[in-house]
Structure 1
Amino acid sequence: MVRRFIRFVLCLIGVVVIGGAGFYFVTAPSALPESHWANLGAPDLKNGEQVFWTGGCVSCHAAPGSEGDAKLTLAGGLALKTPFGTFHTPNISPDEKAGIGSWTLAEFGNAMKRGVGPGGQHLYPAFPYASYTRMTDKDINDLFGYIKTLPKSPNVAPPHELPFPYNIRLALGGWKLLYLNDAQHVALANPDDKLKRGQYLVEGPGHCGECHTPRDALGGLENDMWLAGAPNPDGPGRIPDITPGSKDVSSWSEGDIANYLETGFTPDFDTVGGSMAEVQRNLAHLPKSDLEAIAAYLKAVPKR
């Protein structure tokens, strides 16, 4: 009887060890190889600047309270309060010690597309790599080149404040298995180049769905409600539905949407407010053709 019990315990331990090893193997951080990022050539800094504003990098990574040109110093430190805890955005200025000045393109690219940090650790999806994974390698190369031209900051952001079990990064491998992929969120019928561009901007670097789409209990986007509105991550109220079925914007034309993104004025001459005001100021740096492409895509997505 004792021997049987011992064998049972040893078998149980073996199953746990093998299962744990299997889980780690499946969910371990998976970075693209250095060779993937080779031969991209010198970055196009003009395009990198456009990608920078599309992605709204200053909205999260500028020092809280900074204004004007000071916002281009990506010192980090903004506190993002979520149901999973408080995240503090990192310094992504070109500073070699406090920022990303010592990073390689491969390290930057893997953070953007795979959510893997330079030490090989999972990054938390408060950084919207689940959207950035759809970005082209060229845009990432250009963005990295542009960020390296910006001012350095020695600021060191505080660590995240996350309760157990959300402070266990290994669990993020399971989250990625469920939610990290580069598939398009919606299938468009016979899209022309303008629609394709709009889809890329919205679903990729613009990461519009990160705020405008509701999330499930694990923090993943509910794709069947793509862009249909969600609770406001910054406080009370809701982020609006921006699909063609929305009560708020269904009557807006493509021109109305493009003009709103460029000027901040609605068709009724109201002004943009809340967290969208910062987004609009970023998008206003884009060429009119990109704003029109975004508008075309928003009019083409399915009603919810």
Structure 2
Amino acid sequence: MGYGRWISGFGVVGLGVAFFVTAPAPLPDDALIGADGTALIGDPIAGEMVFHAAGCASCHSAEGTDALAGGKSFVSDFGTFYAPNISTDVDHGIGAWSDHDLASAMIAGVSPNGAHYYPAFPYTTYSKMTPQDAVDLIAHLRSLPADATPSRDHDVGFPFNIRRLLGGWKFLFASDDWVVADVATPELERGRYLVEALGHCAECHTPRNALGALNTGDWMRGAANPSGDGTIPSVHSDDLGWSAQDIAIYLDSGFTPDFDTVGGEMVDVVDNTSQLSDEDRAAIAAYLVALP
């Protein structure tokens, strides 16, 4: 009888720990407060750069339009995910969300109603975004037109449709640590920020484990295409063999050193990186060439 009570007690404790670990955790209330104690003010012009660096339009633009109405599908081993409407529409987009709601979604992966987002939304890398970049991006998003297209529900079966379980996934795999811990110059630091945080390049170019988490031991070494159609190439300097100048030119023009042109999903990526400054493209290139 005593043994049974011990087992029951451990079960209750285990459930309590699991309930705590899997609870959605939005950003703290003061996350968007500056060092001077006042709320950060977003700059929509600076936010446009963040918008391009983060590739927002690549996922959220509706087919055939610039409206951020969502709908693009992302096939995976866990189901098919659909990008939501992030236009300023009050009913179907983000028009009724506060800045804190939006920042919690992007950085913490938590919805305004307190639910976990699936990591098909790359908040696991946006988590490294600076608060100022977050409010700048939000200011830019608020300057864009509304679209009343409803977001489409994800096609995800059991048990992956239990969003609470994502809290355990975050506990195991989400991290704010830089993959490349040591960078020697401001240019490399900027490149790391653009690649590892805003650009979320590893979400496609790094392989994943059985639970869908990035295998950082093979950082940027290429991965299987989640759709099952071919592979996504390595952009690690050991495999790519391009110079920093080659990479910077490609990110601007879409031309490879062999005078081939960009294709597939990279068309959207280059459309975004071509909007960045020469210095930012050079920083991305320097980071990739310097990968250990």
Q: Taking structure 1 as the reference length, what is the TM-score of the superposition?
A: 0.91
Deviates more, 1:227-236 or 1:45-54: 227-236
Q: 2:179 and 2:158 mapped to 1: Cα distance?
A: 31
> Per-residue deviation at 1:11?
5.6
Which residues of structure 2 form unaligned runs of 5+? none
Letter in 2 for 1:94: T
1:227-271: per-residue Cα shift (whole Å, max 9, x none)? Answer: 00001234421111111110xx21x11111000000000011100
Does 2:102 align with 1:108?
A: yes
User: Is the 1:85–1:163 contact (alpha carbons within 8 Å) kept by the matching residues of 2?
Assistant: yes
Out of 83, 96, 99, the position equivalent to 2:93 is 99
Q: Counterpart of 1:145?
A: 139
What SS is found at the alignment partner of 1:143? helix
Letter in 1 for 2:185: D
Letter in 1 for 2:146: K
Letter in 2 for 1:165: P
Q: 1:13 and 1:100 mapped to 2: Cα distance?
A: 45
Q: Counterpart of 1:18?
A: 13
Deviates more, 1:115-124 or 1:28-37: 28-37
Q: How does 1:11-90 map to 2 (within 5 A)?
A: 12-38=7-33, 39-63=38-62, 65-66=63-64, 70-71=65-66, 73-90=67-84
> Per-residue deviation at 1:10?
6.1
1:118-154: per-residue Cα shift (whole Å, max 9, x none)? Answer: 1111111000001100110000000000001111011
Q: 2:39 and 2:206 mapped to 1: Cα distance?
A: 33
What SS is found at the alignment partner of 1:216? coil
Aligned pair in 2 of structure 1 residues 165, 12: CA closer, same or farther (>3 Å)? same
Letter in 2 for 1:47: A
Aligned pair in 2 of structure 1 residues 292, 40: CA closer, same or farther (>3 Å)? farther
Letter in 1 for 2:120: A
Q: How does 1:157-196 map to 2 (within 5 A)?
A: 157-189=151-183, 191-196=184-189
> Per-residue deviation at 1:46?
1.4
Q: Counterpart of 2:287?
A: 297
Q: 1:285 and 1:262 mapped to 2: Cα distance?
A: 8
User: Is the 2:88–2:95 contact (alpha carbons within 8 Å) kept by the matching residues of 1?
Assistant: yes
User: Is the 1:228–1:241 contact (alpha carbons within 8 Å) kept by the matching residues of 2?
Assistant: yes
What SS is found at the alignment partner of 2:30? helix
Q: 2:264 and 2:8 mapped to 1: Cα distance?
A: 54
User: Is the 1:188–1:301 contact (alpha carbons within 8 Å) kept by the matching residues of 2?
Assistant: no
Deviates more, 1:37-46 or 1:201-210: 37-46
User: Is the 1:91–1:98 contact (alpha carbons within 8 Å) kept by the matching residues of 2?
Assistant: yes
Q: 2:232 and 2:219 mapped to 1: Cα distance?
A: 12
Q: 1:178 and 1:300 mapped to 2: Cα distance?
A: 28
Deviates more, 1:206-215 or 1:168-177: 168-177
Does 2:190 align with 1:197?
A: yes
Does 2:264 align with 1:274?
A: yes
User: Is the 1:109–1:140 contact (alpha carbons within 8 Å) kept by the matching residues of 2?
Assistant: yes
Q: How does 1:220-299 map to 2 (within 5 A)?
A: 220-246=213-239, 249-250=240-241, 252-299=242-289
Q: Counterpart of 2:208?
A: 215
> Per-residue deviation at 1:9?
6.0
Letter in 2 for 1:135: M
Q: CA RMSD in A?
A: 1.5
Q: 2:99 and 2:86 mapped to 1: Cα distance?
A: 13
Deviates more, 1:79-88 or 1:256-265: 79-88
What SS is found at the alignment partner of 2:81? strand
Whose radius of gyration is greater, 1 or 2? 1
**Percent identity of the aligned residues?**
47
Aligned pair in 2 of structure 1 residues 147, 137: CA closer, same or farther (>3 Å)? same
Q: Taking structure 2 as the reference length, what is the TM-score of the superposition?
A: 0.94
1:180-227: per-residue Cα shift (whole Å, max 9, x none)? Answer: 1110011335x2111100000000010000000000000000000000
User: Is the 1:40–1:138 contact (alpha carbons within 8 Å) kept by the matching residues of 2?
Assistant: no
User: Is the 1:79–1:88 contact (alpha carbons within 8 Å) kept by the matching residues of 2?
Assistant: yes
